[in-house]
Amino acid sequence: MTNQQVWKCVRGTHAWHPCVTASKDPDARHHLRFWANLIVQPPANPYGTVLCIDVPIPLLYGSEVTRRWRFHCVCNILISVFVLVPSLGCDRKSTDIDEPDEDVEARLYALGYVESTPDPAADRGKEGVIVYDPAAACPGINVYCSEKHGNLTLFDMAGTALHRFELPDLHCKLLEPYDEESFVILTNGEGILKIDWDSMVQWHNPGGYYHHDIAVAENGDIYTFKNVVRSVEYQGETLRFLDNSLAVLGPDGHERSTLSLYGLLGHLVPEDRFPRLYAELQQHGTIDIGSGRTSDIFHANSLEILQHDGPLGPRGALLISIRYLDLIAVVDLEERQLLWSWGPGELDHPHHPSVMANGNVLIFDNRPFRTYSRLVELEPSSKDIVWQYTSEDPRFYSETRGSAQELPNGNILVGQSDRGRWFEITKTGRIVWEFWPTEAEKAQGGDFMRFTIYRAHRFVDGQVLHPELRALWDRLSRVTRTELSKCQYSGVPPITSLQP
């Protein structure tokens, strides 16, 4: 990496914590991670000049650009200690929630993710199903959602396409069975819709501010997250920020109710958040709501309806994940209260908690500040970690997104989102199935790119409701595992079967 490339990386990033660290991870040699409001800022606006660097030690020495880094590191540390830290104790004048800004709300989309990432040479050419142990893998129908191309493909364990939902004008994130006749789809900023097997739209709520996840209740209600702009008074200024509300849509797609996470979890927001928002307002005269991460104080990213009473809470309560609080929690929508929570100090920007068959909680722990991810199984009563999975070869890491689904045979289906990789492991960590999406075309500059995924999901027995889907399941079930193993690369090649 040239000095010019490194300096470009430094100037284009955003800050999160007032710290400077040097990574000892050799794999991070070319993975520079910076979080700063701006690398160079006027001295009159010190609050935003908090710099966090995570770089290999050798890169901190020996060039003009790194000498400039060290100068800014020293400046930012001194400013953090003498200016920012004393301000953290300043209380907000009011934490009352103002009415949402409807004009801004109408334009809000869920914060987006990249659609493709550079493909390392070691992964070059991996496409379709590359590992499959029929005797150990859990059978099912896999759901591939392409955020880039707007189609959803169901494919078998061999990687052969079985059915495709065509939605050319939308960018799809998730598909959930709704009933025996239809499915519900969450899009990337284009709302929620209900479709049938032939991709005919039954209704479409185009609210671009529904995001990250959907869950269907027994009564037909649909739970999701909704972005809402709110404000608080701080140091004589009105600070706007992004609140994630839990929203309930009725069977007709119309919104029925919402519950503000700020009203429920506002006391857990870190004390430095509002000084940082204040600094942004002082420097720029406004707070970036549409894409500014400082204003996104929660980043709720996953929800699941509890199916049984237990230590987490009663049946019907919601298990949710809050990325920027490092928190998973259970909330009661009826009583509007927090029932259970865990994570700060243990988790690092988590995703996709789910209740396992034994009542424990399975969590995808991204760990971007450690540059490796892990899966965690938590016993909810004692809050003890009873199992975890990490891997260096092949490296298991996804800075954003990620998913983990427990399968009926006890295996775990993992979505390593930033790499686009799906894999199924046993509890001993053995990979028994692995799938890679098609490589994208070369990007400008010659890098090979890989399409990312939002979440890996497999329909298993008990989740197959629609008659056509059931017919596919029955047909696949009649194929013996030996026969399926022999034909895993037959039929439509995976490289084309999952293309738009």
Per-residue pLDDT of the chain (500 residues; tens, 9 = 90+): 433 333 333 333 333 333 333 333 333 323 333 333 323 333 333 333 333 333 332 333 333 333 444 444 444 444 444 433 333 334 444 444 444 444 444 344 444 556 777 777 788 888 899 999 999 999 999 999 876 766 789 999 999 999 999 887 888 889 999 988 899 999 988 899 999 999 999 999 997 689 999 999 999 999 999 998 988 898 888 888 989 999 999 999 999 999 999 999 999 998 888 898 888 888 887 777 765 567 888 999 999 999 999 999 999 999 999 999 999 999 999 899 999 999 999 999 999 999 999 999 999 999 888 888 999 999 999 999 999 999 988 889 888 889 999 999 999 999 998 888 899 999 999 999 999 987 665 555 667 777 888 899 999 876 666 788 878 877 776 653 444 443 333 332 333 333 33
The angle at the Cα of 367, spanning 455 to 11, to the nearest 5 degrees, equals 100
pLDDT at 132: 95
Q: Which of 72, 89, 106 is the last residue of a domain?
A: 89
181, 76: one domain: no
Does residue 107 form part of some domain? Answer: no
Does residue 282 form part of some domain? Answer: yes
315, 351: one domain: yes
The answer to whether 233 and 281 have CB atoms below 8 angstroms apart is no
463, 419: one domain: yes
**Rounded distance between C-alpha atoms, residue 87 and residue 204, angstroms:** 46
Domain at 455, CATH number: 2.130.10.10
30, 153: one domain: no
**Rounded distance between C-alpha atoms, residue 360 and residue 419, angstroms:** 27
Using a 10 angstrom Cβ sphere, with 0-12 exposed, 13-18 middle and 19 or more buried, the burial of residue 168 is exposed
pLDDT at 442: 59
328, 426: one domain: yes
33, 170: one domain: no
Does residue 207 form part of some domain? Answer: yes
pLDDT at 420: 83
Kindly give the interhelix angle for 3-11 and 64-79, rounded to the nearest 10 degrees: 20
**Beta-carbon-side half-sphere exposure of residue 257 (alpha carbons within 13 Å):** 5
Q: How many domains does the chain have?
A: 2
195, 252: one domain: yes
Burial code of 323-335, b = ≥16 C-beta within 10 A, e = fewer? bbbbbbbbbbbee
Which two three-digit tokens encode residue 351?
């995703």
pLDDT at 329: 97
Q: Which of 53, 74, 89 is the last residue of a domain?
A: 89
For residue 28, give its domain range: 3-89
Does residue 351 form part of some domain? Answer: yes
Which two three-digit tokens encode residue 51?
């710099």
Does residue 101 form part of some domain? Answer: no
pLDDT at 91: 45
pLDDT at 193: 95
Which two three-digit tokens encode residue 456?
């890996």
**Rounded distance between C-alpha atoms, residue 207 and residue 193, angstroms:** 10
428, 296: one domain: yes
Pairing of strands 141-146, 128-132: unpaired
Q: Which of 45, 73, 89 is the last residue of a domain?
A: 89
41, 190: one domain: no
What pTM value is reported for the model? Answer: 0.74
pLDDT at 464: 65
pLDDT at 489: 30
172, 51: one domain: no
Does residue 108 form part of some domain? Answer: no
The answer to whether 73 and 40 have CB atoms below 8 angstroms apart is no
> pLDDT (tens digit, 9 = 90+) per residue, 208-224?
689 999 999 999 999 99
Does residue 106 form part of some domain? Answer: no
Residue at 435: amino acid letter: F
**Rounded distance between C-alpha atoms, residue 14 and residue 114, angstroms:** 16
pLDDT at 20: 31
pLDDT at 405: 96
250, 202: one domain: yes
pLDDT at 357: 95
pLDDT at 80: 42
Does residue 70 form part of some domain? Answer: yes
136, 63: one domain: no
Q: Which residues contact 81 (CB under 8 A, 6 or more apart)?
A: none
